[in-house]
Amino acid sequence: MDETYEGDISMKKVNVCILQSDGTNCDNELFYAFKKFGGNPQFVHVNQLRSKTKSLKDFHILALPGGFSYGDDVASGKIWAIELISFLRNEIEKFKQRGGIIVGICNGFQVLIRTGLLPFGEMGKMSATLAPNSSGHFECRWIKLKAEKNKCIFLKGKYDIGYFAVNHGEGKFFSTPQVIKKVEDEDLVVFRYVDENGNSTQQYPQNPNGSLNAIAGVTDPSGRILGLMPHPEKFIDSTQYPNWRREKISKPHGVFIFEDMINYVKENK
Amino acid sequence: MIHTIRVKTIIGRDLVGEGILHDIHHTLGQKGVTQVESAKVYRLEGISEKDAKVLAEKVFCESIYQKYTLNAPILGSQLVFEIAYKPGVMNPEVGSILKTAEDLGIKLIAADSSHEYGFYGPSTGSTTLSTSSLRVEIEEIAKKLHLLNEMVEHFVTEEPKTLLIKGTPGKTNVIRLRRMTDSDLLELSQDQLFLNLEEMKTIQNYFQKIKRDPTDLELETLAQTWSEHCAHKTFKAKIILDGKEKEPLFTRLKKEALKYNKNIVSAFIDNAGVMDFYEGWAINGKAETHNAPSAIEPYGGAMTGSGGVFRDVVATGQGAKALVSTDIFCLAPPDMDKSKLPPGTLPPDYMLKRVVYAVRDYGNRVGIPTNNGSFHFHEDFRAKPIVLVGAYGILPKAKAKKGKPRVGDVALVIGGRTGRDGIHGATFSSGEMTERTISVNAQAVQIGNAIEEKRIFDVILEARDKDLIRVVQDLGAGGFSSAIGETGAEIGVKVHLEKAPLKYQGLAPWEIFLSESQERMLIILTKKNLRKFLEICKKYNVEAKELAEYDGSKRLKVYFGREKVGDLEMKFLHSGLPQRVMKAFRLPSVAQGLRQNQQIKTPSTEKEWIKFLEETLSGGDSNSKEPILRMYDHTVQGTNVLPPFAGVGLDGPQDAAIIKPILEKPYGLVVSHGLNPKLTKEDPYWGTIWSATEAISNYVAVGGDFKNASLINNYIWPNPSEEWLGKLDASVTAVCDFMKTLKIPVISGKDSLSATYRGSSGVIIHSPPTVCISVFGKIPDVKKTVSSDFKKVGSTIVLVGKQDLKVYLKVLPKVLEKMHKAIISGKVLASHDVSEGGLITAIFDMCVGGNNGVNIKANAEELLLETAGCFIVEVENETIAKKLFNGVQFKILGKTIKEEKLVVDKLFSADIDRLQKAWTKPMKEIFP
């Protein structure tokens, strides 16, 4: 039987739950990214958690991929967020208490924001949003991102600038000034969109969606949850980068996120 | 009772409202309106007010930046217009609303969503005008801007009493066909069956012979099976060209293609052509037009066009994974004078925007990257544009062929429900378009639901890998009638139509049978696999129902409950259609080669050159399509190795798409295409050779190996009169000659021979005859490929190939082979094919990508000749160039320079920045 459907789960490995819903479409490349750096990823459809054929108990990492869950209907990630709140709330709380880590990319980030898990780790209470891009439409481009000092417990301090793909229509990180201040004060900002000089920017298209304070990715106060709009999983092989033929790439820029997550689990199991 | 929730953005910009205001000011030039605001409307039926509030607060409204009202207006304007889908048109959002309510423990009976717009301005505030006359004014604006498409949407003028569509099942009628006169038969055919008199009489004779009249379902089934769209009557016709009998076009293509079968896994028999890949994998490809529906509703038409081709690729063999798609649009120029538009047609700028948004909203959602495409503008596309979508996939070679249904096997319909939408799509697309088309054939249009499509793809791939599927067949044109009729052709099948899940009641059995509702697939399997298959469907939230059983009767028997509504012999259905004998004549070839389109006066001064280049580069076919491509997702799946744009500023256009289908393996799938409607119109033979050469050159320019490539040909041709058929014959001969030259096969194709519009006043518009050649194939290592952006300063620029007024087929294979060898040697730094606009625009593209310039020697003719099959190549130095291209014609043009200028010795020096502004401006204005 194909391992992509029924995988082997042994707690000796770093088990990654790649959660799917109707419309998830960046799951294959996310699977590949975890696998390439020593993880043991499994595809799990949200219905399998609902029917209890699969359980978060068996996993160290919960990863929510990009895509258009339920068609982005009403608002991106909304329908999936409500689904998770409605039946998986306790299991997710337990998963966090057991030391599990959660990552949401693009649509996965939109879900984490709309569940309230990001930025303040309060499931069921939404504090920020990812609103429609200021350009008014979907954006598919490569942008520069800078990681900064932050609370995320599994990302090692690498504050380099990297190129990442963004592909979304609703990615504008937005909230009240009080919430934004709290996010900043508590070091919850992990990534910002930056210009050529590495300064955070509100300029389009370097900041592709008009995010306040150029915020591209955040963690929660526990540091166990990471969400970001850009796609690290789409730059883990050099040939995935548009200019691999003209620029020397010693290490694809998305790699460190997967390496750090897997190493963290290995060190803290 | 219905509760209505309205949601509005209160913090931040109202992007939708601003966009409409922009269009009112810029497109209509009407400054009277000063502000437009928008709101989203949700209608919920069968719940309490308390529950409606819960849904508003938890689901519909994000209080961080929005507010809502319950059963009250939200927009302050006196002039509020609500635009909703017409009842019966599927609103994809409704399923999600019902689901999320259920997750919250709220049981909705029905729901809907729509948009509201409020208008402000001096004229709207005027006291001299009554509100009702202002409403008329704004309604006019809304219609002019096509804020609603009356095919599928309407203004909501009163609160609906219910959202449920009721109806009693329609009846099956017997048509008194046996007694009909010829004129009765023709009248019956017009607008409904689209068959000719001979075909109608063949059907009449059959029923006279079996001594009964047909049911409406039987007649519709015959019309669908025998439609041009499904039966390809012209391509299978005996042709009498200038008095001499020739083999059918299809036979000629197939005979030639099958000579080059080293990579063919399956050709011409499945929904897509399949060729060998590596390590037990195969790749498949298909391209198809969706012109007729797109002409009357471009958004829905282009969406369902994408959806249909994706399903063709997935429904190949026992199931494939779709990897990449291409979009090719031929439209009237967006700035064309609107007075040239014939009645019943839509303005080209609106068409352009809507087809682009359709690709964005459908392809992005299904998660298939759109990596390649092109636009071609010509005024003769104003009535019947071309919307051509290609898709490519991967599947295990062992499962690349369909099984055959066996007696006792069952057919399930999975995915979307069946509605009235899309009825007569197959027959309609085969007919000519007239002014009546837009009003009579409204049901031929529908809105796609990309997520439903994604779900069924997920089911098919898992079921395939678990060996559960015998046959997977797309429910596309002709719906159940086509898919069940075809799969049961050999053994016979019994259908129970009452089991089909319906969107709403009230469909007659023939409508259920013929419906082309999107996002449905037919899965045929042995009964013992049924349970496991249904479990997979449940996992992915896909509805599945058993609909038919293959029974060995060699008949197509259709029941609706106990009533037998159709019973046809498979033999008559599939072999009863008389072969057409069609006359054609060939005009002497006018051009005898490529048009010398530089009849335009060659510029003489530097100033004239710069002006000329600005005009060329800002022209519709050549200008930068980057703003469009940035809305198409081309990185989803992580497989993209060459994006549509690359280079320092990621703005240099590339020739083809390269995909790494298996992420952990180095193997590449290369995809490209070529077409030139202007040239095919002028000379069908040489225009076709040019199109095919352009396609293969795009393919080779990036590192594709033409010897391991397959071709797909798509014909979009005016209705085949004797003259047009003669031209089609010439074009098919060209495709056969091209296969012979390169020794590679066409393995899939499609024809759409209805590119003719007839207006009531006698106006006839033939769209330019067009053949699009698509190329796809395999390479062992994606690292041995090249992009078009110049890489270095001081490197040598070479023209490879023979420039002339026509393509020299004799030298083409040699040039392509040299190019390929040069690229895999790793010594080519950049390469780009010469196409429309000639050598100078190719070099311009390469400079844009490299952020540098060139200093070259060439004369005006060399700069402008649009010879396909020529390449501009960047290599380190002259010695390398000579070594690489020894044996074919090549010319050292000059060197790359740091300064961003196009310097042509003795002719001109032009600022690239200035040219780039002209090149990017047109599409930036349409897609800000």
| CA gap A222, A96 in Å, rounded | 9
Identity of the residue in B12, B95, B646 whose CB atom sits nearest the CB atom of A242: B646
Mean pLDDT of chain A: 94
| CA gap A38, A60 in Å, rounded | 13
Are B365 and A66 inside 8 Å of each other by CB?
A: no
Q: What share of chain A is helix, strand, coil (3-state, %, to 5)?
A: 30, 25, 45
Contact B136, B130 (CB under 8 A): no
Closest CA to B503 of B185, B69, B173, B110: B110
CATH of the domain at A194: 3.40.50.880
**Boundaries of domain holding B796:** 786-928
Residues in contact with B631: Cβ distance below 8 Å, sequence separation at least 6, in sequence order: A137, A138, A139, A140, B356, B357, B360, B927
| CA gap B615, B592 in Å, rounded | 28
**DSSP character at residue A199:** -
Are B636 and A66 inside 8 Å of each other by CB?
A: yes
Domain boundary among B155, B172, B195: B155
| CA gap B464, B475 in Å, rounded | 18
Report whether pLDDT(A110) > 80: yes
Q: In terms of CA atoms, which chain B residue is nearest residue A71?
A: B451
Are B93 and A25 inside 8 Å of each other by CB?
A: no
Q: What is the pLDDT of residue B908?
A: 97
Are A246 and B631 inside 8 Å of each other by CB?
A: no
A248–chain B Cβ distance below 8 A for any pair:
no
* Residues of A tagged active-site: 106, 231, 233
Counting Cα atoms < 13 Å in the Cβ hemisphere of A203 gives 11
Identity of the residue in A5, A71, A246 whose CB atom sits nearest the CB atom of B450: A71
Beta strands in B754-907 (DSSP E): 756-758, 764-766, 770-779, 796-800, 828-833, 853-856, 871-875, 890-897, 901-904
Judging contacts by C-beta atoms under 8 Å, the chain B residues touching residue A83 are: 99-100, 103
Chain A, 217 to 236: residues with Cβ < 8 Å from chain B are 231, 233-234
Q: Which amino acid is at B66?
A: Q
Gap from B130 CA to chain A (nearest CA, Å)? 34
Token couple for B888 = 């074919």
Q: What is the pLDDT of residue B591?
A: 56
Beta bridge partners of B54: none
Beta strands in A79-135 (DSSP E): 101-105, 129-131
SS3 B133: helix
| CA gap A254, A266 in Å, rounded | 19
Are A243 and B646 inside 8 Å of each other by CB?
A: yes
Gap from A234 CA to chain B (nearest CA, Å)? 5
pLDDT in tens, B144-178: 888 887 777 889 988 888 888 777 778 899 999 99
Q: Which amino acid is at A60?
A: H
Contact B652, B845 (CB under 8 A): yes
Q: Is residue B490 part of a domain?
A: no
Q: Residue B778: exposed, middle, or buried by beta-carbon count in 10 A (0-12, 13-18, 19+)?
A: buried
- Rounded to 10 deg, the angle between the B722-742 and B249-257 helix axes is 0
- Helical H segments across B500-546, by residue range: 509-514, 530-539
Cα B197 to Cα B187, B190, B580, B582: the distances in Å are 10, 11, 12, 15
Judging contacts by C-beta atoms under 8 Å, the chain A residues touching residue B541 are: 22, 47
Are A22 and B783 inside 8 Å of each other by CB?
A: no
Q: What is the pLDDT of residue A198?
A: 94
Q: Is residue A184 part of a domain?
A: yes
CATH of the domain at B74: 3.30.1280.10
Q: What is the pLDDT of residue A2?
A: 39
Judging contacts by C-beta atoms under 8 Å, the chain A residues touching residue B920 are: none
| CA gap B781, B548 in Å, rounded | 46
Q: Which amino acid is at B120?
A: Y
A132–chain B Cβ distance below 8 A for any pair:
yes
Q: Is residue B717 part of a domain?
A: no
Q: What is the pLDDT of residue A6?
A: 53
Q: Residue B128: exposed, middle, or buried by beta-carbon count in 10 A (0-12, 13-18, 19+)?
A: exposed
| CA gap A84, A112 in Å, rounded | 10
Contact B376, B255 (CB under 8 A): no
Q: Is residue A6 part of a domain?
A: no
**Boundaries of domain holding A43:** 15-268
Cα B379 to Cα B600, B619, B760, B766: the distances in Å are 19, 13, 20, 10
Beta bridge partners of B831: B873
Beta bridge partners of B288: B389
List, as own/partner pairs, every contact residues B157-164 make where C-beta atoms lie below 8 angstroms and the sequence separation is at least 24, other chains included.
Answer: B159/B2, B159/B4, B160/B2, B160/B43, B160/B87, B160/B112, B161/B2, B162/B2, B162/B45, B162/B110, B163/B2, B163/B43, B163/B45, B163/B87, B163/B109, B163/B110, B163/B111, B163/B112, B164/B45, B164/B109, B164/B110, B164/B504
Gap from A66 CA to chain B (nearest CA, Å)? 9
How many CB atoms sit inside 10 A of residue B590's CB?
A: 9
Q: What is the pLDDT of residue B149?
A: 77
CATH of the domain at B826: 3.90.650.10
Q: Is residue B714 part of a domain?
A: no
A168–chain B Cβ distance below 8 A for any pair:
no
SS3 A9: coil
Q: Is the peptide bond before B644 cis (omega within 30 degrees of 0)?
A: no
A139–chain B Cβ distance below 8 A for any pair:
yes
How many CB atoms sit inside 10 A of residue A125's CB?
A: 11
Pairs across A and B, CB distance < 8 A? 174
| CA gap B841, B131 in Å, rounded | 55
Q: Is residue B505 part of a domain?
A: no
| CA gap B849, B837 in Å, rounded | 17
Q: What is the pLDDT of residue B74?
A: 97
Are A140 and B631 inside 8 Å of each other by CB?
A: yes
Gap from A129 CA to chain B (nearest CA, Å)? 7
Q: Is residue B834 part of a domain?
A: yes
Q: In terms of DSSP bridges, do strands A15-20 and A40-45 run parallel, antiparallel, or are they unpaired?
A: parallel
A124–chain B Cβ distance below 8 A for any pair:
no
Q: In terms of DSSP bridges, do strands B238-241 and B581-584 run parallel, antiparallel, or are they unpaired?
A: parallel
- As for how many domains chain A has, the answer is 1
Q: In terms of CA atoms, which chain A residue is nearest residue B463?
A: A5
Helix or strand (DSSP H, E) at B709: strand B709-716
Q: In terms of CA atoms, which chain A residue is nearest residue B784?
A: A245
Q: In terms of CA atoms, which chain B residue is nearest residue A24?
A: B367
Counting Cα atoms < 13 Å in the Cβ hemisphere of A164 gives 31
How many CB atoms sit inside 10 A of residue B604's CB?
A: 11
Q: Is the peptide bond before B333 cis (omega within 30 degrees of 0)?
A: no
Beta strands in A34-100 (DSSP E): 40-45, 61-64
Are A131 and B636 inside 8 Å of each other by CB?
A: no
Are A45 and B540 inside 8 Å of each other by CB?
A: yes
Q: Is residue A254 part of a domain?
A: yes
Counting Cα atoms < 13 Å in the Cβ hemisphere of B193 gives 24
pLDDT in tens, A228-250: 999 999 999 999 999 999 999 99
Contact B900, B852 (CB under 8 A): yes
SS3 B785: coil
Q: Is residue B690 part of a domain?
A: no
Point out the residues of chain B with pLDDT beneath 50: 125-128, 436-442, 598
Closest CA to B110 of B40, B56, B52, B162: B162
Judging contacts by C-beta atoms under 8 Å, the chain B residues touching residue A71 are: 92-93, 96, 365, 449-451
Cα A216 to Cα A64, A142, A191: the distances in Å are 16, 13, 5
| CA gap B618, B919 in Å, rounded | 5
Q: Is residue B117 part of a domain?
A: yes
- For the complex shown, is ipTM > 0.90? yes
- As for how many domains chain B has, the answer is 2
Judging contacts by C-beta atoms under 8 Å, the chain B residues touching residue A131 are: 12, 65
